[in-house]
Amino acid sequence: MAITQTAVSYYGLNYVEHAGRDFREIRDHGCNTVILAVTEFDFDFWRPNIPEIVGKAHELGLRVLLDPWGIGKYFGGEQVSLFLQNNVENRQVSALTGEKLPYACFNTQSFRDYFQRFCLTLAREAGADGFFWDEPHYAFPKSYASITGGTGEDWTCRCPVCRSRFQEYYGYEMPKILNDDVKTFRRREALFILEETSRKIKELNPAQEITCCVHATLNSYYVSENRGYDDWEAVAASPWFDVFSTTIISWELPRAFFEHITKRTVETAKKYGKKSERWLMGYYKQPADFRQIGETVDLYESFGVDRLAVWTYRGGYGTVLAAPDALKLWDSIGENFKRVLVRGREFRRN
């Protein structure tokens, strides 16, 4: 099998000339795709520049995917949310305490409309090649596998909208215990917003590619994350997603875990005729021995992964989540991306 796409996420949708210089560096580091992390502030304030930045990336030979980064704190990401700033309601509610939390409830019509307006506007205006659904999730529960840590029995969402919809569907009040009906309900509602938005994007332009990236957790018979997208089969089976992606694994975890996640990712994607994608951690943490980067890239390739991606540009250099040796990490990932793309081209020629 051949890896055909190598992607990196990129913040900084401000000035086209600055982005152009960065995109040349990205290209020189073996990346052929850039994932633009579009924040709610970018959309609200810098939107006129986004099509120009997309155009510059295309001019330099890069594919472009748009990531509604951290929108409503529903997607992964560290930035703040304008939706939450402007909405004291339409938030996820703790099942155990009844408190409103700083996470949008994506089952409410208010947030669904907001999310679709955000994405469909970009689909019409930006000229990108597709969208990247970035670690969508309910706020709780969290597990040890969560990169943001924490464990507990609490779960979301038990807001009035979710409770009413559950009652209507199952005929009894939504319990405070995470029973099987609640788990099924949460998964079904979680998929709805992404499937509907993806469907409408493809109605505008059938060529738009949709990648859905879910948390890389065990989700076995005994252990499940229960954050809405832990049923990989249901996600990969969706007719509106083109690429099934599983997210970053910390360099500190054992190789057996990398193998397990990668094998399941590829098998699940193939079962439903989707491309598979695996990620590298290119910020915050770095391997104790940089040779692990090459070994991991080779592992992904050996399992038949179609695409690789790294978060983020320059190892997060200059941010509070920069890797200790951010630029060295970035260079090492670039060397391995170039190496694997050369092998991919040779495989296709033969």
pTM value surpassing 0.85: yes
Mean pLDDT score across all residues of the chain: 94
pLDDT surpasses 90 at 314: yes
Q: What is the pLDDT of residue 145?
A: 46
- 224 or 14, higher pLDDT: 14
> What domains sit in the chain, N to C, each tagged with a CATH number?
5-83+106-139+179-349 (3.20.20.80)
Q: What is the pLDDT of residue 230?
A: 92
pLDDT surpasses 60 at 144: no
pLDDT surpasses 50 at 327: yes
CA 14: distance to chain centroid?
22
Give the pLDDT mean for 333-341. 97
pLDDT digits (tens, 9 = 90+) for 150-191: 556 789 999 999 999 999 999 999 999 999 999 999 999 999
Q: What is the pLDDT of residue 152?
A: 64
Query: Lowest mean pLDDT: which of 33-47, 216-230, 261-275, 305-319?
Result: 216-230
pLDDT surpasses 50 at 42: yes
